Structure 1
Amino acid sequence: MQPDPISLDHQGHRTLIKWHRARRKASDAEFTPTRILDAMRLGASVEVDLVVHADKGFAILHDLELDHGTTGSGLVCETSAETLRRLFLRGNDGEPIADRVMLLEDLCDLLAANPAHRDALLQLDYKEDLSRLSPAVIASFAAAVSKVAHAMILSGGDSTAVASLAAATPGLRTGYDPTYVGVLDDLQSREDFSRFIAAALKTAPEAAMIYLDYELILAADAAGADLIGAVHDDNRRVDAWTIRSINSATLAKIRRLLDLRVDQITTDDPEGLLFALAEGAA
């Protein structure tokens, strides 16, 4: 029997396998409660996304528009909680599935009713910025998350937004993603990459996990800069995101990330990743 896709060991270092958008395997739909509970029961690392809706709470969705991932249409920020709960998610083929859109409080209630494995970690990835966080939105977040904050980590690209939500939610760990569109156009030399990671660590001093595009890590490596090593030197951990599919090209990149001692790899196909590496080692 194939082991559950939770982690793998390489040269004495353990790397977690994170279930991106709560997918255990490539054929899974995004953000289904079954997969989230599966991951939390097993002690896996799993990620969901957060966007703010019209009633000052959060929906478990990636896009700011409803059209692609749900049976709804329009902007999430203009849609009420009641309407969101009536919408169905769409599968990878675009067809509606049986699972409905969850709100953050729905997810937290589900987790409270189904206690997680002590090693499980649910990443809440906030997809917007500080401008969307009114006092009412922050209070809504804290009210939902506080009872299960010990099993979660909050991340995002706006470190001030993440810090504001975390400050209202005792016990919640945080992470920071300094990656931005076009970052590889700006970083060319070893010195460029070194300055980039130093600035990221300074920007988010409380972040336990630094989330980096895996291509950024590998580009830095080719330029002679060890981004993972720099983060480890500051007693933090690195997540490399996102391996979309498992093939010969991505496997070579995954193996290099493992050589660099990455702490977590985000993928849309955790089962496929673990199987392919095990098959290659056989």
Structure 2
Amino acid sequence: MADPLFIDRHGHRTWLKWHRGRRRASDPVFTGARILEAMRLGASVEVDLVVTGDKGMAVLHDLTLDRETTGAGPVAGTSDAAIRQLNLRGNNGEPLPDAVMLLEDLCQLMAGGAVHPDALLQLDYKEDESVLDDRAVAKFVAATGPVASNMVVSSGSAKAIDMLTAALPAMKKGFDATNEARFRAALAAGRLQEYVDEAMAEMPDAALVYLYWEMVTHAADAGFDIVDAFHRHGTRIDAWTIREVTPASVVQVERLLDLKVDQITTDDPEGLYAALET
């Protein structure tokens, strides 16, 4: 089987994003070896970032250490050195030999790892601009600068994205435009174009916009092509997240492909690729 990078349909290429660095559903999240593999292949891959007590950034999803690592307590109350002493936990909660990475550790892996020019690493910042200060931004810039051209930083906070990328012209911007309450109101009122326009007004230079996948299909059910509406603003669309590969989810993904989303976030790129290519 070919590597699970993208699907071509109807003259359009849709990338399969390796959510939290997973190639397949059985993979643990955020392991350096798997992320580096993806980057060498030219894949699209995502990791999450949480600010530490030293204003570094840990490659973790949760604001606390308890579930994902062998540590405990808030990430914001833990030093960089202490975080580096922790190990990741697997899907069953058992400790792994893989250490928890800080952003600079991951960037050093990339810098020495023959990254494919097409590879794109999404840094999904899980907090808002209130947590960022000059020290946090300076550490982010120092870590990512040498590999910024293969990165996109994403958040639901346009201000946070602007703060993090101000000194990194090579880094792409990604905006999570998923606001389900606003979307439902716009859908009910027949004002989905306004929803799109308002999202792009928040981040007009977004290279990628992230939408919960059901928003794409609900809009289509209402006769509105939300993917095309964002495309007309010059941005690409990532539909997130396909958790499992089942007959039902494959049908959903086929519809997303028909609607020409540019990227699909999935916890099982390999399984989804196999299902779509058979």
Report the TM-score when normalising by structure 2: 0.97
Q: For 1:4 and 1:190, how far apart are their aligned partners in 2?
A: 43
Query: What is the aligned partner in structure 1 of residue 230 from structure 2?
Result: 231
Matching of residues 40-119 of structure 1 within 5 Å: 40-119=39-118
Q: Determine if contact 2:182/2:195 at 8 Å carries over to the other structure.
A: no
Q: For 2:118 and 2:183, how far apart are their aligned partners in 1?
A: 34
Query: What is the aligned partner in structure 1 of residue 266 from structure 2?
Result: 267
Q: Determine if contact 1:190/1:224 at 8 Å carries over to the other structure.
A: no
The secondary structure found in structure 2 opposite 1:188 is helix
Q: Determine if contact 1:54/1:79 at 8 Å carries over to the other structure.
A: yes
Identical positions, percent = 51
Q: For 1:41 and 1:59, how far apart are their aligned partners in 2?
A: 22
Determine whether 1:7 maps to 2:6.
yes
Q: Determine if contact 2:70/2:88 at 8 Å carries over to the other structure.
A: yes
Q: For 2:134 and 2:82, how far apart are their aligned partners in 1?
A: 23
Residue 185 of structure 1 and its aligned partner are, at CA, apart by: 4.2
The secondary structure found in structure 2 opposite 1:55 is coil
The secondary structure found in structure 1 opposite 2:270 is helix
Residue 184 of structure 1 and its aligned partner are, at CA, apart by: 5.1
Q: For 1:86 and 1:258, how far apart are their aligned partners in 2?
A: 42
Q: Determine if contact 2:183/2:192 at 8 Å carries over to the other structure.
A: no
The one-character-per-residue Cα deviations of 1:174-206 (angstroms, maximum 9, x if unpaired) are 110011354554343372322211111111011
Q: For 2:189 and 2:255, how far apart are their aligned partners in 1?
A: 18
Q: For 2:184 and 2:67, how far apart are their aligned partners in 1?
A: 29
User: Which structure 1 residue ranges, 5 or more long, are not aligned?
Assistant: none
Aligned-residue RMSD, C-alpha: 1.2
Q: For 1:23 and 1:36, how far apart are their aligned partners in 2?
A: 8
Determine whether 1:124 maps to 2:116.
no
Q: Which amino acid aligns with 1:245?
A: E
Q: Determine if contact 1:190/1:225 at 8 Å carries over to the other structure.
A: no
Q: Determine if contact 1:53/1:59 at 8 Å carries over to the other structure.
A: yes
Distance verdict in 2 for CA 1:174–1:251, change over 3 Å: same
Query: What is the aligned partner in structure 2 of residue 133 from structure 1?
Result: 132
The one-character-per-residue Cα deviations of 1:148-180 (angstroms, maximum 9, x if unpaired) are 101111111001100110002231111100113
Residue 72 of structure 1 and its aligned partner are, at CA, apart by: 0.8
Q: Which amino acid aligns with 1:219?
A: H
Matching of residues 121-270 of structure 1 within 5 Å: 121-180=120-179, 182-183=181-182, 185-189=184-188, 191-270=190-269
Q: For 2:154 and 2:75, how far apart are their aligned partners in 1?
A: 20
Q: For 1:94 and 1:187, how far apart are their aligned partners in 2?
A: 41
The secondary structure found in structure 1 opposite 2:190 is helix
The secondary structure found in structure 2 opposite 1:250 is helix
Q: Determine if contact 2:183/2:195 at 8 Å carries over to the other structure.
A: no
Residue 250 of structure 1 and its aligned partner are, at CA, apart by: 0.8
Q: Determine if contact 1:190/1:223 at 8 Å carries over to the other structure.
A: no
Q: For 1:192 and 1:50, how far apart are their aligned partners in 2?
A: 34
The one-character-per-residue Cα deviations of 1:204-223 (angstroms, maximum 9, x if unpaired) are 01110001000111111111
The secondary structure found in structure 1 opposite 2:173 is strand
Matched length: 278
The one-character-per-residue Cα deviations of 1:108-134 (angstroms, maximum 9, x if unpaired) are 111111121111110100010000010
The secondary structure found in structure 1 opposite 2:227 is helix
Structure 1 range deviating more: 127-136 or 195-204: 195-204
Q: Determine if contact 2:14/2:260 at 8 Å carries over to the other structure.
A: yes
The secondary structure found in structure 2 opposite 1:16 is strand
